[in-house]
Amino acid sequence: MVRVVIVGQGYVASIFAVGLERIKRGDLGYYGVPLANELPIKVEDIQIVGSYDVDKTKIGLPLYEIVQRYWKGDVPETLQEVFVRKGVHLRSLRNLPIEAVGLEDEMSLRDAIEHLVSEWKELKPDVIVNVPTTEAFVPFEDLEKLEKAIKEDDRDRLTATQVYAYAAAQYAKEVGGAAFVNAIPTLIANDPAFVELAKESNLVIFGDDGATGATPLTADVLAHLAQRNRHVRDIAQFNIGGNTDFLALTDKERNRSKEYTKSSVVEDILGYNAPHFIKPTGFLEPLGDKKFIAMHIEYVSFNGAIDELVITGRINDSPALAGLLVDLVRLGKIAVDRKEFGTVYEVNAFYMKNPGPKEAKNLPRIIAYEKMRQWAGLKPRYL
Amino acid sequence: MVRVVIVGQGYVASIFAVGLERIKRGDLGYYGVPLANELPIKVEDIQIVGSYDVDKTKIGLPLYEIVQRYWKGDVPETLQEVFVRKGVHLRSLRNLPIEAVGLEDEMSLRDAIEHLVSEWKELKPDVIVNVPTTEAFVPFEDLEKLEKAIKEDDRDRLTATQVYAYAAAQYAKEVGGAAFVNAIPTLIANDPAFVELAKESNLVIFGDDGATGATPLTADVLAHLAQRNRHVRDIAQFNIGGNTDFLALTDKERNRSKEYTKSSVVEDILGYNAPHFIKPTGFLEPLGDKKFIAMHIEYVSFNGAIDELVITGRINDSPALAGLLVDLVRLGKIAVDRKEFGTVYEVNAFYMKNPGPKEAKNLPRIIAYEKMRQWAGLKPRYL
Amino acid sequence: MVRVVIVGQGYVASIFAVGLERIKRGDLGYYGVPLANELPIKVEDIQIVGSYDVDKTKIGLPLYEIVQRYWKGDVPETLQEVFVRKGVHLRSLRNLPIEAVGLEDEMSLRDAIEHLVSEWKELKPDVIVNVPTTEAFVPFEDLEKLEKAIKEDDRDRLTATQVYAYAAAQYAKEVGGAAFVNAIPTLIANDPAFVELAKESNLVIFGDDGATGATPLTADVLAHLAQRNRHVRDIAQFNIGGNTDFLALTDKERNRSKEYTKSSVVEDILGYNAPHFIKPTGFLEPLGDKKFIAMHIEYVSFNGAIDELVITGRINDSPALAGLLVDLVRLGKIAVDRKEFGTVYEVNAFYMKNPGPKEAKNLPRIIAYEKMRQWAGLKPRYL
Amino acid sequence: MVRVVIVGQGYVASIFAVGLERIKRGDLGYYGVPLANELPIKVEDIQIVGSYDVDKTKIGLPLYEIVQRYWKGDVPETLQEVFVRKGVHLRSLRNLPIEAVGLEDEMSLRDAIEHLVSEWKELKPDVIVNVPTTEAFVPFEDLEKLEKAIKEDDRDRLTATQVYAYAAAQYAKEVGGAAFVNAIPTLIANDPAFVELAKESNLVIFGDDGATGATPLTADVLAHLAQRNRHVRDIAQFNIGGNTDFLALTDKERNRSKEYTKSSVVEDILGYNAPHFIKPTGFLEPLGDKKFIAMHIEYVSFNGAIDELVITGRINDSPALAGLLVDLVRLGKIAVDRKEFGTVYEVNAFYMKNPGPKEAKNLPRIIAYEKMRQWAGLKPRYL
Ligand SMILES: NC(=O)c1ccc[n+]([C@@H]2O[C@H](COP(=O)([O-])OP(=O)(O)OC[C@H]3O[C@@H](n4cnc5c(N)ncnc54)[C@H](O)[C@@H]3O)[C@@H](O)[C@H]2O)c1
Ligand SMILES: NC(=O)c1ccc[n+]([C@@H]2O[C@H](COP(=O)([O-])OP(=O)(O)OC[C@H]3O[C@@H](n4cnc5c(N)ncnc54)[C@H](O)[C@@H]3O)[C@@H](O)[C@H]2O)c1
Ligand SMILES: NC(=O)c1ccc[n+]([C@@H]2O[C@H](COP(=O)([O-])OP(=O)(O)OC[C@H]3O[C@@H](n4cnc5c(N)ncnc54)[C@H](O)[C@@H]3O)[C@@H](O)[C@H]2O)c1
Ligand SMILES: NC(=O)c1ccc[n+]([C@@H]2O[C@H](COP(=O)([O-])OP(=O)(O)OC[C@H]3O[C@@H](n4cnc5c(N)ncnc54)[C@H](O)[C@@H]3O)[C@@H](O)[C@H]2O)c1
Ligand SMILES: [Mg+2]
Ligand SMILES: [Mg+2]
Ligand SMILES: [Mg+2]
Ligand SMILES: [Mg+2]
């Protein structure tokens, strides 16, 4: 059994919840779940025990109702039992057409953290999954600075994710072990401050930023070229979507966060920094959750010949991450059981766009996959 | 030093020859050569010592002149020294607008084989590279049947490649070791008759059908999906080009050969046989050697969501294979030195579309690459 | 009011039927119907009064049941009233996994024609819409030869469509006027034999082969290039689908028919015959009715620069033609009312891939559209 | 004979110059020139008599030398005779890695204008072609305000193009007639201030912003859909290139100009404003002048079916505009001869992205082409 608390009951979290219950009900196979049911902990063992949000229209409602905003179909009745609680917002919804309310409206951040920890001690999660709106953030790097910001109630310096991760550490320390899966771009597994804190607090951190969409595919296509020693001249990658997450990314503040997460996938895989333009490109409402991606790669082959590849696609954004979460919560529980506190590169390298710890590199995902299986105690698939 | 004899002085062989000499002259880097200059045998150590063809307009000319039909630029003078000799044709150019002449016009196949072996004993090749026109063929499976066909001068049963491979075995037996690189679809490394013959004769066979173009890319993209447990619903793949090789494939006779080579890449990688349509599609002269490929893949993601990928590209056909040959001839020499007679799966799995021996499976190329490096005594790149 | 009889109650005809009734019921706008509700005859005035097929599992059933094989949703009850009758097959379903039965199993073709005419005199259609399976055919060119084939019951020479068109002429002659819309590739509007027959018999023929999918789009893209005097070097076009129509096209017999319909769209639009490869490419069952198309065009721009365009798409095959039929039956009625017997180029040039009469050329569809509006008595849209 | 002065001797102007001379020399056909040699004024009659720039490294050099920065090949010697003169810059090169010098460094704008007019009276151009770097601008709308800005030497309010157009009007007034072809986005033909000035001054203005690349293709594809009454749900269009013009567009200041030129092509063609994202997307140096475009269109077909089209391409940016200029200078001369002063919608509608005058709409280019031919006294091509 894995007990899960969700932070951010949006598109991804709702598809995660409904998909999980539909699998339990027998509606679906394990498609989109990389390890399917190979792990000793079964998909059916996962149980959502709590959920947090700061959207005024969601707090207090059962998942059953929220999920219907994102998925049309026969929603399992089991989702009637979990209700959305109030989290901390700290500018999370700034500039979005959503009214935010948060614990910090009525109390200090320290008190809010204490409030969360005490709720969690009641809900008893093994794993906390962090999937709120993309944030504008600055990493801490230094644990003392983080402690200071919390102590001083520095609401301009801290983001919600940083506060949730801090609270998770407090909780893990008190209960002897827990995992925090950071599926969003805010640096947590890549922030030495948090990794240090995790080690001290019996916390496992997986992060950062779930590896879905064009980036991991690009990594594998680039590895394909590198292994033939084809010299990449340039890479352009666009993507546009119509869900709230794409809307959030149109906000310049949030884009500032890219200074810290700027993808090094190109250099990590190729061994040189081929000129590239890789950015979320825009918001187009009718596309909904099914984004449109386009990628162009030009490279030099033998005898100076120049080849070109174009990849386009329509990809459902939220199910891609939701499927990974089904593994991540189970692997989180395994890591806690093994007491591998801090962060686990073998897991991050396959599941995360920006695998922690800070100094770690990107691998071709196809290789990372085999290493991750090994870590998880499974037989390699192709090796 | 690796001494090489080429069979089929067409587009691929000419780009191989000119690219090699341009590298020696310092015009080019090692782009398109998977192992670049990492092997103990250097690219600069490769020397073309002989060439065979059956196109009446080519026999007797130096490579210097032939190469100019395929590549515009300053052709290295070193190619003045190798002249094209007459091979055996056996229907190779049937239905093509090219006049064929062959040794068998004047003698029996046995005598032709003897003639080749005696020429090779003079030219002293370490490796024979087979890149003639795609053939209509039937594999032998049984060594006795092969011996019988040669003995009986059975010109309807044998193809040119089968005769060349047989001659290579004779030659290897007599000189103590040689390699035969079969870069075309005719089954040689996948034909137990030839593998048995090779083992008996000190011959190394690599084959079959050089892994360029859309197929190895498809393999890696499918592996990418398989590792996320995305369920592939269907795959369509088209490609069209304007070189003689695409023209040859419009011939129905040659297409019969597909009965024996039908790609199992889909099932090998995915673990199930997803419905697919994967075929060379057509000939369109102005495209020249730069083929157009288009691929559509549809798959099921988490919670039943359906995604789509489209890959299109313009890819220079001949340089892709020519670059692989630069490795294959060096690896052939290494295998001969190690006396690994028969066929070498580790090499075939990365470089060949249809890796021999017969019972071997396709691997994702990214994995095959690491295994091949290991075989070659190189450090893994990502593992 | 326009009374319609359908021949070939397959995918296209079923979408036509259900779409029409859903429009009447107010479920849908006029999307996909080029002239929407601009004509004096309204979409709501169209009534299907009869339907013919030769698939044993369809004959005798109401459209209500058949439509459910092709469209999931709330099928309008009005389709309970029309039942499928038996037509003539004449090899229509040869090599398809469908059991065919036809009037000619029990009677001569002349008698079958008489039978049809007498049924139609009862059903009183204004327009007969021909959308059976694609046929292998040879055009007649000469009316006498056609009459002779009918008289001699020449079942090897005649196709079902030729027989239906002949019957339509008999019917039109007897009732004073009717229209025959030939939406399939068999040459009818392009066969002088039938055009002559139509003129003598008060029949309006529209044809041949409904202009949907990649071809009319290609025509407009080529016109776009031609108007900038960009010189097209080559055009490759693939398409693959999973409906019965794509399955039927895998049959070599049917492909023989292409000798007669070979597209001249390239030359008609560009003024020169740019090298091209334009063919239905294959059958891939899971694609269903939503085909995948891919097109590559290379052209010369100013100062010798070479540009490339690639167009790919997922296109619902049957709704595309069904939407055109909504116009065609109304235009057919208008032509009959105006007594424009024979064939009408202004209509064909926009709606048909191979616009009759025989000597007529393809126009850029954007231009053809305006001419067609003019013919229909509507104001031009952009001119 | 048409005498031409160029403003902005960059990529487009250099390809224009070299292409023109190569046509005269017989190297090339008329590819990329929409009207080829159909006009009474022949391509060979065009003569470049002067050129202006503000890049310090270009002023004083012959076109012969500058052209070699953009085109590799045998540059015609005739380009030795024209030397680049100094123009006005007014922030044109701000934020670009190019040192700018201009007449206004040493004199008032009024004096600079006088200087230009007196040079032009010597060079005697019939047509002035404006192709400098894209500007950040604010249109004037009111002629008095424009006059005032010139009088007051308002260097913050005026852009270089506005000054050149003003100078062109002075020149035209004095010599009795001239044309100003504005191929860049600054509103001139769409600014009532300039159109009024042109009418008073014997000036013909063509503008604004040469219609090359994805926009006119989009217009024709949308018209194709509109004519079938397919309902467009959304349109995404990306493009990225590596020439200085794409670099200039990364500048936020210049992007402010879009407030005034925001494309209305979608609404003009479809009749409703389908949701769209149409923007120049980025700069990627190795792409050079051959930009990569990607476009996605989703629409509703009959019976509610949803189709998708994706268009990608590699398109040489500068030759596309250069080819149009070959027509525009000839049409400019024709308009001057006919004394059609002000602006000419029939010409703008085909050749310009933002056809003036201000209130004019976009037409499908295929239609606009025929109307333009008519205006030019040529037979329609398809009508
Ligand atoms: N494939 C993917 O969808 C993908 C991949 C990688 C990362 N992500 C990340 O996952 C996150 C969620 O994506 P989504 O599509 O579900 O977005 P969403 O906008 O649908 O959902 C986000 C939810 O978080 C809530 N929220 C915002 N701030 C909060 C806070 N401080 N505390 C609690 N809840 C808060 C919002 O109210 C909303 O309900 C994003 O940050 C995104 O970058 C998604
Ligand atoms: N990327 C690739 O180009 C690629 C990949 C895999 C396999 N191949 C295979 O490589 C082969 C060569 O391709 P290519 O593009 O160079 O073709 P090509 O037609 O340009 O060259 C083939 C040459 O072989 C000669 N030839 C034909 N029959 C012969 C015979 N019996 N003996 C000696 N010479 C003979 C022909 O005259 C011609 O010169 C083809 O079989 C092709 O299937 C190519
Ligand atoms: N976009 C399009 O779908 C499109 C465009 C142009 C032309 N067409 C043509 O429309 C026709 C129908 O396409 P579809 O997708 O509906 O195919 P389908 O296979 O779904 O339907 C054809 C139907 O015709 C019936 N039929 C066959 N022979 C018959 C006969 N002799 N008499 C009466 N019925 C007969 C079959 O039993 C079947 O029910 C095809 O010929 C196709 O080439 C389709
Ligand atoms: N297909 C196309 O390339 C296309 C299409 C439409 C519009 N345009 C427009 O054409 C213009 C030129 O494009 P390009 O690719 O040649 O750009 P470019 O940067 O290569 O050339 C611009 C030239 O103008 C010069 N210049 C800048 N300011 C000047 C001034 N005030 N006076 C005189 N010269 C000046 C620059 O020094 C440079 O030499 C751009 O504004 C672009 O938006 C281009
Ligand atoms: Mg998302
Ligand atoms: Mg080849
Ligand atoms: Mg069909
Ligand atoms: Mg430009």
Give the distance from residue A277's alpha carbon to the nearest chain D alpha carbon, in angstroms.
7
Among candidates C303, C314, C365 on the partner chain, residue whose Cβ is nearest the Cβ of D319:
C303
3-state secondary structure of A373: helix
Asked if A382 and B363 count as a contact pair (C-beta separation under 8 A), the reply is: yes
Residue B304 — left, alpha, or beta (φ > 0 → left; ψ -120 to 50 → alpha)? left
Across-strand partners of A318?
A: none
Closest residue of chain A to D278, computed from CA coordinates: A282
3-state SS of chain C is CEEEEEECCCHHHHHHHHHHHHHHHCCCCCCCCCCCCCCCCCHHHEEEEEEEECECCCCCCEHHHHHCCCCCCCCCHHHHCCEEEECCCCCCCCCCCCCECCHHHCCCHHHHHHHHHHHHHHHCCCEEEECCCCCCCCCCCCHHHHHHHHHCCCCCCCCHHHHHHHHHHHHHHHHCCEEEEECCCCCCCCCHHHHHHHHHHCEEEECCCECCCHHHHHHHHHHHHHCCCCEEEEEEEEEEECCHHHHHHCCHHHHHCHHHHCCCHHHHHHCCCCCEEEEEEEECHHHCCEEEEEEEEEEECHHHCEEEEEEEEEEEHHHHHHHHHHHHHHHHHHHHHCCCCEECHHHHHHHECCCCCCCCCCCCHHHHHHHHHHHCCCCCCCC
Instruction: Choose which residue among A7, A12, A215 to substitute to test ligand 1 binding: the one with the highest number of ligand atoms within 8 A of its C-beta.
Output: A12
Q: Does the pTM of the predicted model rise above 0.90? A: yes
Sign of CA dihedral A346, A349, A355, A357: positive
For residues B209-223, give the mean pLDDT. Answer: 90
pLDDT at residue A279, as a whole number:
80
Higher-pLDDT residue of D121, D255: D121
C236 interaction partners in chain B (CB closer than 8 Å): 240, 282, 284, 287, 292
pLDDT at residue C261, as a whole number:
62
Closest residue of chain B to A311, computed from CA coordinates: B311
For residues C88-116, give the mean pLDDT. Answer: 95
User: Looking at the predicted structure, is the pLDDT value of residue D162 above 70?
Assistant: yes
pLDDT at residue C219, as a whole number:
87
User: CATH number of the domain that B28 lies in?
Assistant: 3.40.50.720
Torsion angles phi and psi, residue A231, rounded to 5: -90, 115
- Nearest-angstrom CA–CA distance, C288 and B305: 17
User: Looking at the predicted structure, is the pLDDT value of residue D253 above 80?
Assistant: no
Confidence tier at A263 by pLDDT (50, 70, 90): low
pLDDT at residue C70, as a whole number:
97
Strands (E), chain B: 2-7, 46-53, 84-86, 127-130, 178-182, 203-206, 231-241, 276-283, 290-300, 306-316, 342-343
3-state secondary structure of A48: strand
* A383: in domain: no
Q: Are residues A102 and A166 in the same domain?
A: yes
Share of chain D above pLDDT 70, in %: 98
Query: Per-residue pLDDT tens for C189-227?
Result: 999 999 999 999 999 999 999 999 888 899 889 999 999
**Structure token pair of residue C22:** 């859903």
- Nearest-angstrom CA–CA distance, C343 and B303: 53
**Structure token pair of residue A149:** 């910001």
Cα-to-centroid distance, C131 and ligand 6 (Å): 42
Q: Are residues C232 and C202 in the same domain?
A: no
Q: Is the CB of D221 less than 8 angstroms away from the CB of C220?
A: yes
pLDDT at residue D68, as a whole number:
97
Domain tally, chain A: 2
Q: Is the CB of B224 less than 8 angstroms away from the CB of A300?
A: no
Angle formed by the axes of helices D143-151 and D109-123, nearest 10°: 100
Closest residue of chain D to C293, computed from CA coordinates: D309
Give the DSSP H/E element, type plus range, for residue D281.
strand D276-283
3-state secondary structure of A14: helix
Q: Is the CB of A286 less than 8 angstroms away from the CB of D314?
A: no
pLDDT at residue C258, as a whole number:
64
User: Looking at the predicted structure, is the pLDDT value of residue C300 above 70?
Assistant: yes
- Give start and end residues of each alpha helix (H) in B227-364: 244-249, 252-256, 258-261, 265-270, 317-338, 345-351
User: Looking at the predicted structure, is the pLDDT value of residue C319 above 80?
Assistant: yes
User: Looking at the predicted structure, is the pLDDT value of residue D12 above 70?
Assistant: yes
User: CATH number of the domain that C311 lies in?
Assistant: 3.30.360.10
Q: Are residues D293 and D155 in the same domain?
A: no
| CA B354 to the chain's CA centroid | 10
A314 interaction partners in chain D (CB closer than 8 Å): 308
pLDDT at residue D251, as a whole number:
81
Chains meeting A at 3+ CB pairs closer than 8 A?
B, D
Confidence tier at A364 by pLDDT (50, 70, 90): confident
**Structure token pair of residue C135:** 């046929």
pLDDT at residue D250, as a whole number:
83
For residues C310-331, give the mean pLDDT. Answer: 98
Confidence tier at A258 by pLDDT (50, 70, 90): low
User: Looking at the predicted structure, is the pLDDT value of residue A257 above 90?
Assistant: no
**Tokens 């809900």 appear where?**
A123
Q: Are residues D278 and D369 in the same domain?
A: no
For residues D322-329, give the mean pLDDT. Answer: 98
Q: Are strands A342-343 and A306-316 parallel, antiparallel or unpaired?
A: unpaired
- Nearest-angstrom CA–CA distance, C53 and C46: 20
3-state secondary structure of D55: strand
Asked if C19 and C322 count as a contact pair (C-beta separation under 8 A), the reply is: yes
Closest residue of chain D to C319, computed from CA coordinates: D302
Edge-to-edge strands of the sheet including C290-300? C276-283, C231-241, C290-300, C306-316, D306-316, D290-300, D231-241, D276-283
Instruction: Choose which residue among C131, C212, C292 to substitute to test ligand 3 binding: the one with the highest number of ligand atoms within 8 A of its C-beta.
Output: C131
User: Looking at the predicted structure, is the pLDDT value of residue D363 above 90?
Assistant: no
* C383: in domain: no
Among candidates D234, D282, D310 on the partner chain, residue whose Cβ is nearest the Cβ of A286:
D234
pLDDT at residue B312, as a whole number:
98
Q: Are residues B135 and B238 in the same domain?
A: no
Query: Per-residue pLDDT tens for A287-337?
Result: 999 999 999 999 999 999 999 999 999 999 999 999 999 999 999 999 999
Give the distance from residue D58's alpha carbon to the nearest chain A alpha carbon, in angstroms.
28
Chains meeting B at 3+ CB pairs closer than 8 A?
A, C
In this structure, chain D runs to a length of 383
**Structure token pair of residue A310:** 């174009």
Which residues keep their CB under 5 angstroms from ion ligand 6?
A: B 245, 317
Q: Is the CB of C286 less than 8 angstroms away from the CB of B298?
A: yes
CA trace torsion D55, D59, D62, D66 (10° rounding): -10
* A381: in domain: no
Q: What is the position in ligand 1's atom list of the atom closest to the CA of A132? A: 24
Asked if A163 and A113 count as a contact pair (C-beta separation under 8 A), the reply is: yes
A313 interaction partners in chain B (CB closer than 8 Å): 307-310
Angle formed by the axes of helices D109-123 and D160-175, nearest 10°: 50
Q: Are residues B147 and B295 in the same domain?
A: no
Q: Are residues A278 and A181 in the same domain?
A: no
Cα-to-centroid distance, D240 and ligand 8 (Å): 11
Domain boundary among D315, D341, D358: D315
Q: Are strands D290-300 and D231-241 parallel, antiparallel or unpaired?
A: antiparallel
pLDDT at residue C260, as a whole number:
66
Query: Per-residue pLDDT tens for B84-104?
Result: 999 999 989 988 999 999 999
Torsion angles phi and psi, residue C290, rounded to 5: -95, 95
Among candidates A236, A240, A314 on the partner chain, residue whose Cβ is nearest the Cβ of D284:
A236
Domain that includes residue A219, residue range: 214-315
pLDDT at residue A252, as a whole number:
77
Across-strand partners of A241?
A: A283
- Nearest-angstrom CA–CA distance, C228 and C233: 14
Confidence tier at D259 by pLDDT (50, 70, 90): low
Residue with the nearest Cα to atom 25 of ligand 1? A8
CA trace torsion B57, B61, B63, B64 (10° rounding): -110
Query: Per-residue pLDDT tens for C45-92?
Result: 999 999 999 999 999 999 999 999 999 999 999 999 999 999 999 989
Which residues between 296 and 355 in chain B have a beta carbon less than 8 angstroms from any beta carbon of chain C?
296, 298, 308, 310, 312, 314
Give the DSSP H/E element, type plus range, for residue D311.
strand D306-316
* C153: in domain: yes
3-state secondary structure of B51: strand
Domain boundary among B296, B315, B334: B315
User: Looking at the predicted structure, is the pLDDT value of residue A260 above 70?
Assistant: no
Task: Output the average pLDDT for chain A.
Answer: 94
Q: What is the position in ligand 3's atom list of the atom closest to the CA of C353? A: 6
Query: Per-residue pLDDT tens for A264-295?
Result: 789 989 999 999 998 877 899 999 999 999 99
- Nearest-angstrom CA–CA distance, A71 and A289: 11
pLDDT at residue C213, as a whole number:
82
Q: Are residues A286 and A182 in the same domain?
A: no
* A80: in domain: yes
C33 at interface of D, judged by CB pairs closer than 8 A:
yes
Q: Are residues B119 and B45 in the same domain?
A: yes
Q: Which residues line ligand 4 (CB under 6 A)?
A: D 7-13, 52-55, 87-89, 92-93, 131-134, 160, 183-185, 209-210, 212-213, 243-245, 317-318, 320-321
For residues D5-23, give the mean pLDDT. Answer: 98
User: Looking at the predicted structure, is the pLDDT value of residue A261 above 90?
Assistant: no
In terms of Cβ atoms closer than 10 Å to its own Cβ (0-12, 13-18, 19+), residue C252 is exposed
Task: Output the average pLDDT for chain C.
Answer: 94
A240 at interface of B, judged by CB pairs closer than 8 A:
no
D273 at interface of A, judged by CB pairs closer than 8 A:
no
Q: What is the position in ligand 1's atom list of the atom closest to the CA of A183? A: 7
Domain boundary among D315, D340, D362: D315
Asked if D82 and D48 count as a contact pair (C-beta separation under 8 A), the reply is: yes
- Nearest-angstrom CA–CA distance, C6 and C332: 14
User: Looking at the predicted structure, is the pLDDT value of residue D258 above 70?
Assistant: no
Confidence tier at B51 by pLDDT (50, 70, 90): very high
In terms of Cβ atoms closer than 10 Å to its own Cβ (0-12, 13-18, 19+), residue A273 is exposed
Interior CA angle at A282 toward A276 and A285, to 5°?
A: 150
Between A90-104, A325-339, B43-57, C247-261, the lowest mean confidence (pLDDT) is in C247-261
**Tokens 């100019």 appear where?**
B68
In terms of Cβ atoms closer than 10 Å to its own Cβ (0-12, 13-18, 19+), residue C55 is buried
Go through A104-125 and write b for each residue having 16 or more CB atoms within 10 A of its CB, e for each that does not. beeeebeebbebbbebbeebeb
| CA C198 to the chain's CA centroid | 17
Interior CA angle at B91 toward B86 and B97, to 5°?
A: 85
- Nearest-angstrom CA–CA distance, B147 and B258: 24
- Nearest-angstrom CA–CA distance, A129 and A182: 6
Q: Are residues D303 and D270 in the same domain?
A: yes
**Tokens 């997803």 appear where?**
B274
**Structure token pair of residue B66:** 């032939």
A1 at interface of B, judged by CB pairs closer than 8 A:
no
A33 interaction partners in chain B (CB closer than 8 Å): 229, 302
* A325: in domain: yes
Name the nearest CA neighbour of A224 among B224, C5, B111, D121: B224
State how far the alpha carbon of B192 is from the alpha carbons of B199, B342, B346, in Å: 11, 10, 17
Q: Are residues B271 and B296 in the same domain?
A: yes
- Nearest-angstrom CA–CA distance, D118 and D129: 17
User: Looking at the predicted structure, is the pLDDT value of residue B253 above 80?
Assistant: no
Confidence tier at B27 by pLDDT (50, 70, 90): very high
Confidence tier at D263 by pLDDT (50, 70, 90): low
D323 interaction partners in chain C (CB closer than 8 Å): 228-229, 301-303
B366 interaction partners in chain A (CB closer than 8 Å): 220, 223-224, 227, 364, 366-367
* A382: in domain: no
Q: Is the CB of D307 less than 8 angstroms away from the CB of C315?
A: yes
Cβ pairs A/D, distance under 8 A? 72
Query: Per-residue pLDDT tens for B107-159?
Result: 999 999 999 999 999 999 999 999 999 999 999 999 999 999 999 999 999 99
pLDDT at residue D262, as a whole number:
59
**Structure token pair of residue C354:** 């191979």
- ipTM of the predicted structure? 0.95
Q: Is the CB of B87 under 6 A from ligand 2?
A: yes
Asked if B77 and B51 count as a contact pair (C-beta separation under 8 A), the reply is: no
Task: Output the average pLDDT for chain D.
Answer: 94
Query: Per-residue pLDDT tens for B163-185?
Result: 999 999 999 999 999 999 999 99
Q: Are residues D258 and D347 in the same domain?
A: no
Q: Is the CB of B324 under 6 A from ligand 2?
A: no
Angle formed by the axes of helices A143-151 and A192-201, nearest 10°: 80
State how far the alpha carbon of A40 is from the alpha carbons of A25, A376, C105, in Å: 20, 10, 64
Angle formed by the axes of helices D317-337 and D11-25, nearest 10°: 70
**Structure token pair of residue A137:** 């953030």
* C381: in domain: no
- Nearest-angstrom CA–CA distance, D94 and C190: 63
Asked if C254 and C208 count as a contact pair (C-beta separation under 8 A), the reply is: no
Across-strand partners of A182?
A: A130
Confidence tier at B258 by pLDDT (50, 70, 90): low
